[in-house]
Amino acid sequence: MQDFIQAIADEHVYLFDGAMGTMLYSKGVFINKCYDELNLRSPEIVLEVHKQYVRSGAEVLETNTYGANRVKLRTFGIEDDTREINVKAVEIARKAAGDSVYVAGAIGPLGIRIEPYGPTALDEAREYFREQAEALRDAGVDLFILETMSNIAEVEQGILAIRDVCSLPIIAQMTIGNDSRTIYGDSPRLIAERLDRAGADVIGLNCSVGPDVMLDAIEEMSTVTAKKLSCQPNAGLPREVAGRQMYMASPEYMGKYAKRLIHKGVKFLGGCCGTTPEHIKVMADAVRPLSPRRSFVIIERDIEAKKPQGFQPVPLETRSNWGRKIAAGEFVTTIEIVPPKGPNPEAMVKSVQSIKGAGVDAVNVPDGPRAQNRMGAIAVAVLLQQRVGIETVLHYCCRDRNLLGMHSDLLGCAALGLRNMLLITGDPPKMGSYPDATAVFDIDAIGLTNMVSLMNRGLDLGGNPFGEATKFTIGVGVNPGHLDLDYELRRLDWKVKAGAEYAITQPVFDVDVLEKFLKRIELMRLPIVAGIWPLLSYRNAQFMNNEVPGVSVSDEVMERMRIASEKSKEHALHEGVTIARETLERVRGQVAGVQVSAPLGRVDLALQVFSQGPLPGERVARSAG
């Protein structure tokens, strides 16, 4: 396992565990007890909590030492056990963590006021923190986490104390109220600036409030620091239920906000009060498709030199007609269809025959889009190539298969004559009809691109030769309108380094956004195929804008569709295809090609985007004019 300082630098989003106190309380440990002393008195209870979080997907465990400083332990008369409690806590966490999970030495507030708000001197506070940090360091933690601090000066003394004893990475987290400020009135902006200057490696927030308040605070912090951000919210605010304080935020709610926090720049996620292993499990499922897997990295050239080189990949122009046109700089066209829900393919075959007759280069076959049940993409692609004689671009996602299954599938695709691939991470099952279905995600689209690139040289993911090389054209997805475009561009750069040869965008409804994106990636020299979606109605535009991940419909397009839909369904179809045609004409010459989707299976609408003939509802539109 790499040092945690490397984990801070990589692109993976790491998941911390959830609340320790909540879990111990649920196991019958009353709140008037010293939870830190359980490391000595009942270590098996603490160990089981850690194990539950590891099983749920936590990648970093915090030691049960939140209150294990001399000041707080003195209230229970066990201050002389400070070192032993901290050392034992690391031992317990390490036993649960094994070799694949990090252990963070947790240090909470001292529980006393320090100057200028109280009688405790800064140096005195620093000494208390130093004692605990030394014990945690000696026991072998991978990093430190200072958390739930309200006073910036207190956090600063904690950072200095840790730096007195070692150079291990430090995550410094403060707590805020519903007004997004600490009890001393400090703003998220000031918190970030001070902790950055103090030398924290990661800056963040935890406790007190739920994820909604923290989302805005994190966004404010991100504007004033280049340090990586962490966030561990409570499961909402506690409510009194039958005389007990209960945290009401569901695991699903926390999972939704986990994705939003990542888009705001959070790299280290977890839970605080009220969160349980179930919360962490759902957050892990939400995080996985948005995060490069740390288990699989791109093979850099200096590493490649030490591995078997396999075969030289065959030239792109010889792999398929699709590859030939991309290599030659010819404008490619494709229509994305939707595989049937049942076993009868006849209607789909008939519609694709019309696509071939219109001279479109290929048909895109999605792989379980939006996690919906449909005929398998590989079977559909083979069927269409054999019965219609048109090339397919096969979407292939990581969601449903482990590494062995993917390798086997891809070898089968090569044998069946499938050449054009669009490699994607895949939509999580929570989006689909069976939200409890298991997602695999052994690797993401970056790792899959790396795998297929190696297969084109006759090597498996481990660099072992397997015989004749595959001849795939390697495509990937990209979102020009991503909320965090820098993040999206970093991932695209990784995909290119892993072997991507072209990319297809999410549907474009704002050409200005696409043009800015193309400007940003000029040096990559990656052929871009622009996605185009002919809208059916204003409702369809709202759906695309709000419920399809990665898609954003511009205000101008929304307004045009609203006005048209108020007139009639025919006017709406006319306007949707008109907008799609305008988009096609504007992007032509700037991109390598276009992929036009067939919304709700309406292949006729997709073909009309390419056609110069009458638009749907043309007669109605003209008479209205």
pLDDT at 149: 94
pLDDT at 305: 41
The residue among 261, 290, 319 that closes a domain is 290
Q: Is 562 within the bounds of a domain? A: no
Model pTM score: 0.57
| CA-based nearest residue to 472, from 507, 435, 501 | 501
Q: Is 191 within the bounds of a domain? A: yes
Q: How many domains does the chain have?
A: 2
Q: How many CA atoms lie less than 13 Å away from 305 in the CB half-sphere?
A: 2
Q: How many CA atoms lie less than 13 Å away from 11 in the CB half-sphere?
A: 21
Inter-CA distances, 248 with 210, 239, 253, 430, Å = 10, 7, 10, 20
pLDDT in tens, 316-329: 999 999 999 999 99
Shared domain for 420 and 324, answered yes or no, is yes
**Residue 88 near residue 75 (C-beta atoms within 8 A):** no
Shared domain for 246 and 358, answered yes or no, is no
Shared domain for 217 and 111, answered yes or no, is yes
As given in the structure block, the two tokens for residue 346 are 């006849």
Shared domain for 263 and 381, answered yes or no, is no
The residue among 264, 290, 316 that closes a domain is 290
Shared domain for 433 and 391, answered yes or no, is yes
Shared domain for 263 and 314, answered yes or no, is no
Alpha-carbon distance 283 to 421, whole Å? Answer: 30
As given in the structure block, the two tokens for residue 115 are 């100057």
Radius of gyration of the chain (CA): 28
103 dihedral zone (left: phi>0; alpha: psi -120 to 50; beta): beta
As given in the structure block, the two tokens for residue 360 are 């479109």
Helix residue ranges, H only, 298-438: 301-304, 321-328, 346-357, 377-387, 403-415
- Averaged over 349-371, what is the pLDDT? 90
Alpha-carbon distance 479 to 485, whole Å? Answer: 8
pLDDT at 436: 60
Shared domain for 273 and 351, answered yes or no, is no
User: What DSSP letter does each residue of 104-122 carry, written as one string?
Assistant: EEEE---SS-BTTSSSB-H
Shared domain for 271 and 321, answered yes or no, is no
CATH number at residue 247: 3.20.20.330
Alpha-carbon distance 132 to 63, whole Å? Answer: 12
Shared domain for 272 and 326, answered yes or no, is no
Beta strands (DSSP E) in 181-337 are 202-206, 228-232, 238-241, 244-247, 266-269, 332-336
CATH number at residue 320: 3.20.20.220
Q: Is 448 within the bounds of a domain? A: yes
User: What DSSP letter does each residue of 188-207 carry, written as one string?
Assistant: HHHHHHHHHHHT-SEEEEES
Residue 62 in 3-state DSSP? strand
Higher pLDDT, 244 or 53: 53
Residue 367 above 50 pLDDT?
Answer: yes
Percentage of the chain surpassing pLDDT 90?
71
**Residue 243 near residue 216 (C-beta atoms within 8 A):** no
Shared domain for 116 and 249, answered yes or no, is yes
Q: Is 20 within the bounds of a domain? A: yes
- Helix 569-587 × helix 511-520 angle, to 10°: 30
pLDDT at 300: 39
pLDDT in tens, 165-218: 999 999 999 999 989 999 989 999 999 999 999 999 999 999 988 899 999 999
Higher pLDDT, 399 or 66: 66
The residue among 435, 460, 478 that closes a domain is 478
pLDDT-based confidence at residue 370 (cuts at 50, 70, 90): low
- Averaged over 8-18, what is the pLDDT? 91
Residue 296 above 50 pLDDT?
Answer: no
Q: How many CA atoms lie less than 13 Å away from 218 in the CB half-sphere?
A: 31
- Averaged over 234-238, what is the pLDDT? 76
pLDDT in tens, 247-270: 668 889 898 899 999 989 999 999
pLDDT in tens, 113-146: 888 777 889 999 999 999 999 999 999 999 999 9
pLDDT in tens, 333-358: 999 998 999 999 999 999 999 999 99
Domain containing 348 equals 307-478
Residue 622 above 50 pLDDT?
Answer: no
For residue 405, what are the contacts with CB-CB under 8 A and spacing of at least 6?
none
- Averaged over 62-73, what is the pLDDT? 96
Cα 561 off chain centre by:
31
Alpha-carbon distance 515 to 429, whole Å? Answer: 33
Alpha-carbon distance 310 to 445, whole Å? Answer: 22
Q: Is 36 within the bounds of a domain? A: yes
Shared domain for 329 and 246, answered yes or no, is no
Shared domain for 254 and 343, answered yes or no, is no
Percentage of the chain surpassing pLDDT 70?
89
Q: Is 599 within the bounds of a domain? A: no
Q: What is the mean pLDDT of the chain?
A: 89
Q: For residues 428-462, b (16+ Cβ closer than 10 Å) or e, as one string? A: bbbbbeeeeeebbbbbbbbbbbbbbbbbbbbbebe
pLDDT-based confidence at residue 560 (cuts at 50, 70, 90): very high
- Averaged over 484-502, what is the pLDDT? 91
Cα 545 off chain centre by:
19
For residue 582, what are the contacts with CB-CB under 8 A and spacing of at least 6?
none
pLDDT at 435: 59
Q: Is 591 within the bounds of a domain? A: no
Q: Is 362 within the bounds of a domain? A: yes
pLDDT at 286: 81
